[in-house]
Amino acid sequence: MWERLARAGIPYTRPQGRPPKTPAGLRRFLDPHGRLAGIRLAGARVLALAAGGGWDPVVFALLGAQATVFDISAAQLRTVRQLAQRRRVSIRAVRGDMSDLSRFADGSFDVVWHCHSLVFAREVRKVFREVGRVLAPGGTYVTSTMHPTTLRLYGRYTGTGWRPRLTYFDDRAMPYDKEEDVTWEFGRTRVVAPTIEFGHRIETLVNGIAAAGMVVDGLWEYSPDGADPKADAGSDDHLESVFPAFVQIRARKLQTSPVRCRAARPR
């Protein structure tokens, strides 16, 4: 489905905006909330995971990082390569599924930057295990995805409130009600692409990251700046002003393997 969307050129598959030229401006463009504050990127080995089509891997390279982009879509990888050529930076582009990073050795990266794609992964624990493996001890993982509550509510306004597609405790893929649910529209571009999306619960995300040998040191829930409480009732902007659109998590790879606690035996 992402290959179909990329060929149609929808905004999510293309670089958006134009980054500033200064290092400080580039960092703000890449990381507006400062999740990587204090982390040296010059010379760092960075994996932009499932980040094809956008600016992120190129901006990392512009900041002096050894940037690798990994994505399932050949079209989106081609877009990043062309962007890197125009900006005269070198990046490594690898195609594959985010739940299988076997192309990379243990401890290959100092930073794994993973934005807005976990929603498409059925088994996020597999993804986290792979991230934990390829991340070097002391390395940083930043990921974001659709908020599990809000994802269940899009397109489900009843006139007085929202009726979720699934209960919060149901881990199935989001069901579709009608064709509009699988149609991506941006201006005159209209693409029918029934992507499979999962609203992973907060506990699934945090516990999965912890089980992969990482310690969560930050969790944020937020909506885009354009979310408007005065927007049409039931619209996405209205919903995102009431509930957070995204959840973002930062974690650090442990220097040693996690200690598994055992219950104390009574004496």
Q: What's the predicted TM-score (pTM) here?
A: 0.91
Q: What is the pLDDT of residues 91-136, one digit of tens each?
A: 999 999 999 999 999 999 999 999 999 999 999 999 999 999 999 9
Q: Taking Cα atoms as reference points, which of 208, 215, 211, 179 lies closest to residue 194?
A: 179
Element (H or E) spanning 82, and its range? helix 74-87
Q: Kindly give the parts of the chain with pLDDT less than 50.
A: none
Instruction: Report the CATH fold assignment for 2-253.
Output: Rossmann fold (3.40.50)
Q: What is the pLDDT of residues 176-201, one digit of tens each?
A: 877 667 888 888 888 888 889 999 99
What's residue 180's pLDDT?
A: 64
Question: Please, where are the H alpha helices in 100-180?
Answer: 124-134, 148-151
Residue 141: other Cβ atoms inside 10 A? 25
User: Which residues, 6 or more positions from 44, have their beta carbon under 8 angstroms from its beta carbon?
Assistant: 64, 65, 66, 110, 111
What distance in Å separates the CA atoms of residue 168 and residue 201, rounded to the nearest whole number? 7
The DSSP letter of residue 258 is P
Residue 126: other Cβ atoms inside 10 A? 17
